[in-house]
Amino acid sequence: MRNRLASSSEECPKGGLSIKIVLGLGNPGRFYQKTRHNVGFVVISRLARKMGLKFDKKYCSSRVAEGEGIVLAKPYTYVNLSGKAVKALLQRFSLSPEEMLVICDDVALPLGRIRIRRKGSDGGHNGLRSIIKEIGTDNFPRLRVGIGREGIRDLVEYVLGEFEKEEMEVLEKILDVAVEAVECILKEGIEEAMNKYNSLNLLAETG
């Protein structure tokens, strides 16, 4: 499969290494399917449908969709152990951390916003923390989808809960925006995507 992915020395249109693998974080099983913590799964599922790809392969503790020059993956290790699957996938395809994009939820970011970064800390996200621990670096791109709001009392209960009915309109829009942002990253590069999407606030627009 490595031969189907572009050389790691290939640069994206705006500089930097191009993305060869996109990972959406979430928890497996119907119980978690509609929870806030699973927006990474939702975004990458929508991306796969838009690209005409199917998650019809299983390896490295992940569901995998393979395209020409790109791999999409959903680690099925549960969010807190995502790093084990990510490390195995990078090794399988001989990729560097800079060549992967991780999509996850962000409770510190309000619903209606996304944030794209080239690298950075885990920001309190256990999945990112696991990845950083397993691969030994925080130097990899990530796209965070905001799920936060004011007045959260129990963080675990909140992220493992489902979205409220009144949140669905904004949620649907921001999920579509997140897919567009990933496509922009793949085609135009991280910098262009950050400039286009990091300042977007759908909640303010609909409010």
Q: Give residues with Cβ within 8 angstroms of 72, minimum separation 6.
A: 21, 22, 23, 24, 44, 47, 48, 51, 53, 55, 64, 65, 66
CA atoms within 13 A on the CB side of 45: 12
* Bridge partners for 146 per DSSP: 106
Q: Please pick, among 18, 20, 27, 37, the residue that the annotation labels catalytic.
A: 37
Which strand ranges, in their side-by-side order, compose the sheet holding 21-24? 57-59, 62-67, 70-75, 21-24, 100-110, 142-148, 114-117
Euclidean distance between the first and final Cα of the chain, in Å? 47
Active site residue 125: no
> Hey, which residues are catalytic here?
37
